[in-house]
Amino acid sequence: DAVLVFNEGQPGRTDVVAGTLGTPKTVPVSGLSYEQGAEFVAAGTPTGTLTTDVESDLERSTYNVIADVPKSVLKKIKNPDQVVVVGAHLDSVAEGPGINDNGTGSAGILEIAKQLSSTGVYKGLQRPVRFAFWGAEELSLLGSEHYVATLPEDELSRIYANLNFDMIGSPNYARFVYDGDGSDGDPGPAGSGEIEKVFTDYFDSKGLASEPTAFDGRSDYGPFIAVGIPAGGLFTGAEGVKTPEQVALYGGTAGVAYDKCYHQACDDMTNINVNALNEMGDAAAFAVATLGLSKAGLYP
Ligand code: PHE
Ligand code: ZN
Ligand code: ZN
Ligand code: ZN
């Protein structure tokens, strides 16, 4: 059974991990340290904690959480075999809560899903939108690798595009767009350039600077481009260091990492740049809507 683990053993941690941790043992929750244990929460009710070292003593199962448009909506969609997969990884590294990496991306696509529904925009969809919350990205893209490797060929061939959002609220941010057309050295499969252009045209229209970033497979789009599915996405920077040129474009501090808390305990709620998350979230929503609603489609 899937179990959501919140506040994994550490006071103040807010990470959410989908998976099972064997059979929960019921012990008092007080005085936990990270090493001592994880709190089990099933269906919103704490069911117990674990007293062993959660990092080394257990085999864990991990899950992708996949959400499709309802069948009643799918029935009315013009191009049912052009599925737009919108993905973000749900896990974090064990060292920290993973709020920028990748609470921002997973919360971002969840909000887009909610808005698609509450605004009624889904009624105009020309192609299906599928939301994918990947498990275990930090363990070398386990969730997305598994998904692409095990999806039957006829289902794989229905995927029109993959959009990926991994770190979109970095404190010292830049507006990076995955380089789908090879202008920065990493061309994607045919179609990825068109996806890149959706993002860059959007930023241009808002008078916001952006630039291409490596499209080298370092996140969950990797397994998709490896099988030739066009992909694209956004990123606000990790351990890389901001240049003076980028400060001129985006503000922030030169000589400092885009995210100085990358993969550390300090990647907490205070590690978010709200402007970054707002701008990148809007761009992400724009791209989902463009791919979902465009009558002609993106590719020639
Ligand atoms: N995938 C990396 C992580 O989760 C972050 C990253 C994304 C780094 C894109 C480079 C490019 O840690
Ligand atoms: Zn990471
Ligand atoms: Zn990440
Ligand atoms: Zn490019």
Q: Specify the pLDDT at position 105.
A: 97
**Looking at the predicted structure, is the pLDDT value of residue 17 above 60?**
no
Q: Which of 30-39, 61-70, 122-131, 276-285 has the lowest mean pLDDT?
A: 30-39
Nearest protein CA to atom 11 of ligand 1, as residue: 218
Q: Which of 61-65, 76-80, 102-106, 117-121 has the lowest mean pLDDT?
A: 61-65
**pLDDT band with cut points at 50, 70 and 90 for residue 300:** confident
Please tell me if the CB atom of residue 220 comes closer than 6 angstroms to any atom of ligand 1.
Answer: no
Best CA proximity match to 267, nearest among 111, 102, 124, 30: 102
Please tell me if the CB atom of residue 137 comes closer than 6 angstroms to any atom of ligand 1.
Answer: yes
Q: Respond yes or no on whether ipTM tops 0.95.
A: no
Average pLDDT taken over every residue of the chain: 84
Q: Specify the pLDDT at position 62.
A: 84
Q: Which H or E run includes 149?
A: helix 142-150
Residue 224 phi, psi dihedral angles, 5° rounding: -75, -50
Best CA proximity match to 235, nearest among 283, 192, 296, 184: 283
User: Does this model's pTM top 0.95?
Assistant: no
Q: Specify the pLDDT at position 185.
A: 87
Find the 89 Cα to ligand 3 centroid distance in Å. Answer: 7
**Percent of the chain at pLDDT exceeding 70:** 80
Mean pLDDT of 104-122: 95
Q: How many CB atoms lie within 10 A of CB 80?
A: 13
Q: Using an 8 Å Cβ cutoff, are 275 and 236 in contact?
A: no
Cβ-based burial of 197 (10 A; exposed 0-12, middle 13-18, buried ≥19): middle
User: How far apart are alpha carbons 251 and 228 in whole angstroms?
Assistant: 36
Nearest protein CA to atom 10 of ligand 1, as residue: 218
Strand stretches in the chain, DSSP E: 3-6, 16-20, 39-42, 45-49, 61-62, 65-68, 83-89, 129-134, 159-165, 176-178, 211-213, 231-235
- The helix/strand/coil state of 195 is helix
Mutate to test the pocket of ligand 1, among 15, 92, 101 (most ligand atoms within 8 A of CB): 101
**Looking at the predicted structure, is the pLDDT value of residue 256 above 50?**
yes
Mean pLDDT of 49-61: 48
**pLDDT band with cut points at 50, 70 and 90 for residue 44:** very low
Token pair 């001129």 in the structure block, residue: 248
**Looking at the predicted structure, is the pLDDT value of residue 40 above 70?**
no
Q: Specify the pLDDT at position 186.
A: 85
163-216 pLDDT, tens digit per residue, is: 999 999 999 999 999 999 999 888 899 999 999 999 999 999 999 999 999 999
Q: Specify the pLDDT at position 237.
A: 98
Q: Specify the pLDDT at position 59.
A: 59
Ligand 1 atom closest to Cα of residue 262: 12
Q: Using an 8 Å Cβ cutoff, are 62 and 135 in contact?
A: yes
User: How far apart are alpha carbons 124 and 30 in whole angstroms?
Assistant: 50
**Looking at the predicted structure, is the pLDDT value of residue 144 above 70?**
yes
Mean pLDDT of 223-232: 98
Residue 162 neighbours by CB under 8 Å, 6+ apart? 85, 86, 87, 221, 224, 225, 229, 230, 231, 232
